[in-house]
Amino acid sequence: METTGNSSHFFQNRACEHFPCHEGIPEEDFNCLFCFCPLYTLGKRCGGNWRYTDKGTKSCRECIFPHERENYDQMISRFEEIKAVVRRSDGEKE
């Protein structure tokens, strides 16, 4: 595993059998920190390049946004939206 700079903002797991799991990002800039994208829960409002498969599953195969090194702050800025989705699904008032 390799970390660069602030390890809470960037992390790589080059030993992962899927590394890199998306094309279009130079390997040295590929961020594995959001391997399982927290924006997935926002559905159509995630802002990424996604589509629904024939079976109705959201596929993020073409989305590189969470893996681009420079997008850390934008990812983190969406956590209030994610928390609101979770509160609603749990039946809690915002």
pLDDT tens across 59-86, in order? 998 999 999 999 999 999 999 999 999 9
pLDDT at 16 over 90: yes
Asked if residue 24 belongs to a domain, the reply is: no
> What pLDDT does residue 82 have?
95
Full domain range(s) for residue 44: 36-89
Asked if residue 82 belongs to a domain, the reply is: yes
Asked if residue 83 belongs to a domain, the reply is: yes
- Domain tally, the chain: 1
pTM above 0.85, yes or no: no
Number of residues assigned to the chain: 94
| Alpha carbon distance 24, 26 (integer Å) | 7
Asked if residue 61 belongs to a domain, the reply is: yes
> What pLDDT does residue 2 have?
53
Asked if residue 49 belongs to a domain, the reply is: yes
Main-chain dihedrals φ then ψ at residue 8, nearest 5 degrees: -80, -10
> What pLDDT does residue 8 have?
84
Percent of the chain exceeding pLDDT 90 equals 73
